Amino acid sequence: MTDHQWDIGRVQAIIENLKDKPGALLPILHGIQDDLGYVPPDSVPMIARALNLTRADVHGVITFYHYFRETPPGKHTVYLCRAEACQAMGSENLEEHVKKTLGIDYHENTSDGRFSLEPIYCLGNCACSPSIMIDKEVFGRVTSKRFDEIIESTKVNS
Amino acid sequence: MIKVYVPRDSSALGLGAGQVANAICQEASRRNLSIELVRNGSRGLYWLEPLVEVETPRGRVAYGPVSTADVASLFDADFLNDQPHALALGLTEEIPYLKNQDRLTFARVGITDPVLLADYLNYDGYRGLKNALTLEPSQIVDQVTDSGLRGRGGAAFPTGIKWRTVLNAPSAQKYIVCNADEGDSGTFSDRMIMEGDPFVLIEGMTIAGIAVGATQGYIYLRCEYPHAQIALEAAIMEAYKGNFLGENIQGSGKTFHLEVRMGAGAYVCGEETSLLESLEGKRGLVRYKPPLPAIKGLFGQPTIINNVISLASVPIILDKGGEFYRDFGMGRSRGTLPLQLAGNLKYCGLVEKAFGCTLREILYEYGGGSISGRPIKAVQVGGPLGAYLPESQFDTPLDYEAFAANWTVLGHGGIVAFDDTVDMSKMARYGMEFCAIESCGKCTPCRIGSTRGVEVIDKIRAGEQSMANVTLLRDLSETMLAGSLCALGGMTPYPVLSALNHFPEDFGLPKTDVKV
């Protein structure tokens, strides 16, 4: 995926809007990722300049945090919980099913660009394990069958 | 107009509460019935979610678990007028699971509309702040000290002592930081408070600010909690409108500003110094201590950094007095702990209890045993860095010191049960793997030790020179325990070694050959 399809003006506006907050870097990175779905590597020099940081500083922060990504995600991101409570309720079988159904591993996008798959370590939904989140919606007690239904309805609604 | 309650809590939403709420509205309008729908927090009885409640002359009655398919039949049965239905559970407050709790911090959760200030005020909200505004800063800190409250994030450090340190640290700018990076698996009490009663956290932070002279607060919230963000931001806006935040709060001349900041999926940022680095816009590398955050914290200034539950327990302490709170609990563990029952249990949910009941009571009298019907083999208490307890330790009372005496960890009160199908060597491996994924990389025992730990456990599981590798694993764990900079590397050996000590057969080892 080339990196020039995003709107420089919009990213500049996000940076301008947030750069004077104390500790502005995470809010800026969230702002950009909320808007574009990722933080384009080409935006790093813009951020660095605005905050008087080095590009290495900004790159270091982006890569430290699991949530920030430097490549465009699929249209929807499926987060699958790998933590203990979900394991206690069979999340490993679900994990296998999800990977097989989507045909991808963690940190990959489906070839039609519809879905990305990311591991996540606890959604705070441990009373209703196993759990997944799609974009910002949490789903509990997810069986393989229920996963298929959720994915179908996500496709229909998008 | 009849009030109907359908939770907005994210776990309830994850089981279809949003669709149920829509279906109830549509069905009511189809039948020309006027109802007032309130989106409350969850009562924490998750096996009953979506739990629908109706306000009746005899009190709130509950129905659950309700699916969209049940909605028409509920109306047919006239549930709005307290008529019988297969899903009827009677008065909500009389459900034994809920009735037999000590809900202090969670007093309002599930009862009020979480983002409605008027509701918060109707249910004793901001009484703690009102009292605090009549006290000297030092007297506020005394109340917190007298309550015996200890950090609910897991470290159990006395909250009053932390506050006293910040109060006595001279500075023009101090900060209150709420650690809402609830990353421990099996824990969700912070999330429930933030989604179900965000004002109580806001009030607690405001009291903290007034107590130590801090005018700015930040809630560092994990990005895995989008619904908590929505509720917190809505409540903060309401609090500003009602002059409970901002300048000259309630005419007192005191100022306190509050903002939510989002984390970005790093477990280590739940460690307080890593969190402060992250708030400052940096990689979440753990800092050396000293200096303590209370002396040099956020942006180098004196900072109170407390967990959500610690701060959310402050309003009731200031409302009813430190002694009231201290009268709950046992030993040096005073007050209540919101326990979170998770994993393979029949009745998962939130149980706020005074310290002192045993793990066994919680697992069987509240949790109802395993949902799979198989024996419970191991229970991890206190998150991914907590030890696994075998059945022989289930009679341990829930008390910080009693747990520590067993080489176990009460932590943030998360309880994750596993039945006898679990392979504990796999869980030990996962403990090391998780540490390797989440290590900030600053100290060697954690950064390298965790990766070597995975490799050594793999060898043991494969039966390669098992005994020699067990010795190596114990040696490595010693290094991590003693040499890590923070609890991530320093406590990963808890789940690993407890699994090895209590369940050697899962590692392909004879039971007698392993010393406990």
Mean pLDDT computed over B450-475: 98
Residue among B10, B183, B416 minimizing CB distance to A84: B416
Are B514 and B501 within 8 A, CB to CB?
A: yes
Domains B2-97 and B329-419 share a fold: no
Within a 10 A sphere around the Cβ of B206, how many other Cβ atoms?
Answer: 31
pLDDT digits (tens, 9 = 90+) for B33-91: 999 999 999 999 999 999 999 999 999 999 999 999 999 999 999 999 999 999 999 99
pLDDT bracket for residue B175 (50, 70, 90): very high
DSSP A37-49: SS--GGGHHHHHH
Q: Hey, are the CB atoms on A83 and B185 less than 8 Å from each other?
A: yes
B42 touches chain A (CB under 8 A): no
pLDDT digits (tens, 9 = 90+) for B434-457: 999 999 999 999 999 999 999 999
- Contacts of residue A125, defined as CB under 8 A and 6 or more positions apart, other chains included, come to A81, A131, A138, A140, B10, B11, B14, B188
Query: Which amino acid, one-letter code, is at B419?
Result: D
DSSP-derived 3-state class of residue B133: coil
DSSP-derived 3-state class of residue A83: coil
Strand order of the sheet with strand A76-81? A108-109, A115-120, A76-81, A132-134, A137-139
Q: Hey, are the CB atoms on B223 and A67 less than 8 Å from each other?
A: yes
Nearest CA to B189 out of B413, B17, B387, B400 is that of B413
Share above pLDDT 70 across residues of chain B, in percent, rounded to a whole number: 99
Measured CA to CA, the distance from residue B452 to residue A136 in angstroms comes to 35
Nearest CA to A48 out of A14, A70, A19, A22 is that of A19
Max CA-CA distance within chain B? 75
Q: Which segments of chain A are extended strands (E)?
A: 76-81, 108-109, 115-120, 132-134, 137-139
Max CA-CA distance within chain A? 51
Query: Which amino acid, one-letter code, is at B479?
Result: T
Measured CA to CA, the distance from residue B119 to residue B220 in angstroms comes to 26
Within a 10 A sphere around the Cβ of A104, how many other Cβ atoms?
Answer: 18
* Separation in Å, CA of B506 to nearest CA in chain A: 16
State if pTM tops 0.80: yes
Are B376 and B369 within 8 A, CB to CB?
A: yes
Question: In this predicted structure, what is the pLDDT of residue B512?
Answer: 61
Half-sphere exposure of A136 (CA within 13 A, CB side): 10
Nearest CA to B380 out of B352, B355, B343, B348 is that of B343
Domain boundaries, chain B: 2-97, 117-326, 329-419, 424-513
A124: left (phi over 0), alpha (psi -120 to 50) or beta: left
pLDDT bracket for residue B17 (50, 70, 90): very high
Query: A133: which 2 tokens?
Result: 């989140």
Question: In this predicted structure, what is the pLDDT of residue A1?
Answer: 46
Query: B405: which 2 tokens?
Result: 């005496």
Nearest CA to A138 out of B368, B386, B42 is that of B42
Whether CATH 3.30.930.10 fits B424-513: no
Considering only CB atoms, which chain A residues are within 8 Å of B263? 26, 65, 67
Question: In this predicted structure, what is the pLDDT of residue A4?
Answer: 56
Q: Which segments of A86-131 are extended strands (E)?
A: 108-109, 115-120
* Residues forming a β-bridge with A117: A78, A108
Are B342 and B350 within 8 A, CB to CB?
A: no
User: What's the CATH architecture for B117-326?
Assistant: 3-Layer(aba) Sandwich (3.40)
Could you say which residues from 422 to 481 on chain B have a Cβ atom under 8 Å away from some Cβ of chain A?
422, 427, 430, 434, 437-438, 440
- Can you give the length of chain B in residues? 516
pLDDT digits (tens, 9 = 90+) for B254-295: 999 999 999 999 999 999 999 999 999 999 999 999 999 999
Nearest CA to B43 out of B338, B418, B266, B358 is that of B338
Question: In this predicted structure, what is the pLDDT of residue A158?
Answer: 75
Query: B41: which 2 tokens?
Result: 């927090």
B344 touches chain A (CB under 8 A): yes
Domains parsed from chain A with CATH numbers: 8-64 (no CATH), 76-157 (3.40.30.10)
Whether CATH 3.40.50.2300 fits B2-97: no
pLDDT digits (tens, 9 = 90+) for B487-508: 999 999 999 999 999 999 999 9
- Contacts of residue A112, defined as CB under 8 A and 6 or more positions apart, other chains included, come to none
Share above pLDDT 90 across residues of chain B, in percent, rounded to a whole number: 99
Which positions of chain A have pLDDT values less than 50? 1-2
DSSP-derived 3-state class of residue B98: helix
Q: Hey, are the CB atoms on A124 and B187 less than 8 Å from each other?
A: yes
Q: What is the CATH number of domain B329-419?
A: 3.10.20.600
Q: Hey, are the CB atoms on A26 and B261 less than 8 Å from each other?
A: yes
pLDDT digits (tens, 9 = 90+) for B186-234: 999 999 999 999 999 999 999 999 999 999 999 999 999 999 999 999 9
Question: Does the pLDDT value for residue B514 go beyond 80?
Answer: no
B238 touches chain A (CB under 8 A): no
